[in-house]
Chains A and B, each alone.
Chain A
Amino acid sequence: MLDVEAQEPPKGKWSTPPFDPRFPSQNQIRNCYQNFLDYHRCLKTRTRRGKSTQPCEYYFRVYHSLCPISWVESWNEQIKNGIFAGKI
């Protein structure tokens, strides 16, 4: 997978996902899922083009902060088995 240090936020600064105006309501499930999809799409596109995947880390940090880890693990499992329902 990707470099673990690259995925951690900069040291000494508490960072958390900012307010996203695309998802203003109380139910943030779409925010979590969209960032998960965006992370994998970003990885796929940039690796295909041979570019660095460093900019994709933002999406990783957002979904890692927002999504329950059990959901993330089950989605990753589905991606590994090729049965993930989302379009990546």
Chain B
Amino acid sequence: MAHATQVGLQDATSPIMEELITFHDHALMIIFLICFLVLYALFLTLTTKLTNTNISDAQEMETVWTILPAIILVLIALPSLRILYMTDEVNDPSLTIKSIGHQWYWTYEYTDYGGLIFNSYMLPPLFLEPGDLRLLDVDNRVVLPIETPIRMMITSQDVLHSWAVPTLGLKTDAIPGRLNQTTFTATRPGVYYGQCSEICGANHSFMPIVLELIPLKIFEMGPVFTL
């Protein structure tokens, strides 16, 4: 989860998110370089003693400052497209979970093997135990195995919602009448939080998502199925 005053991205829990963080660092460095260059040029312009107003031609400089930005844009686009195609790879999932958005809670269905369906409501402030996270913790978490490709099918029963877990690099809209698929593989166990990311009414801020990722051996023992 994010901590207070956090500015950057959360630590990655999936290989795609690791790639996204690296790309973000790369793009941000280019942005900083361009900003610094422009600020420096502005500073020079404002403090120069040169006052010749008859300069009318600068073909070489014009060529350079046309070609160079084009190259920079290509250098940003190539890693970006690489990651975009990486997210779409066919990766043969081992488990399918359905996530259905409602106003204002999520329903999760584990129906590969039997049928487990449950709702996940945010814990109201009065029901929080000491140590629980306000506006983030839920009554029933989504328990999943690590190091397993998982397919999430996301839809909505009423209005638009969006199922997002930043640490896994996931954000998929829940659209009524559509069944959006997203896949991920978590690399380490833990409890990971996300929040509904599409305005959906009065309690849009109060329908969080909590994933509890556990080792595959423990998941196979069936704790999920023994309520």
Q: Which residues on A are within 8 Å of B, measured CB to CB?
A: 8-9, 14-19, 26-29, 31-32, 64-70
A23 vs chain B, min Cβ distance (A)? 9
Residue from B90, B115, B181, B220 having most chain A Cβ neighbours under 10 A: B181
User: Which chain B residues lie closer than 8 Å to A67 at the CB level?
Assistant: 179
- Chain A residue, CB-CB nearest to B219: A14
A15 touches B179 (CB 8 A): no
Answer yes or no: B98 CB below 8 A from chain A CBs: yes
B153 within 8 A of A: yes
Question: Quick one: closest B residue to A64, CB to CB?
Answer: B111
Find out whether the CB atom of B181 lies under 8 angstroms from the CB atom of A68. no
Q: Which residues of B contact A64 (CB under 8 A)?
A: 111
Report the nearest A residue to B151, measured CB to CB: A16
B93 at the interface (CB under 8 A from A): yes
B95 touches A14 (CB 8 A): yes
Once the chains bind, are A32 and B179 in contact (CB under 8 Å)?
yes
* Interface: B100 (CB within 8 A): yes
Which residues does chain A contribute within 8 Å of B220, judged by CB atoms? Answer: 14
User: With a CB–CB cut-off of 8 A, which chain A residues contact B114?
Assistant: 8
In the bound assembly, the distance between CA atoms of A57 and B93 in angstroms comes to 20
CB pair B93–A66 under 8 Å, yes or no, is: no
B100 touches A70 (CB 8 A): yes
- Nearest residue (CB) in A for B172 is A26
For A17, the chain B residues whose CB sits under 8 A away are 96
B109 touches A68 (CB 8 A): yes
Shortest Cβ distance from B150 into A: residue: A16
Query: At the interface, yes or no: B92 with Cβ under 8 Å from chain A?
Result: yes
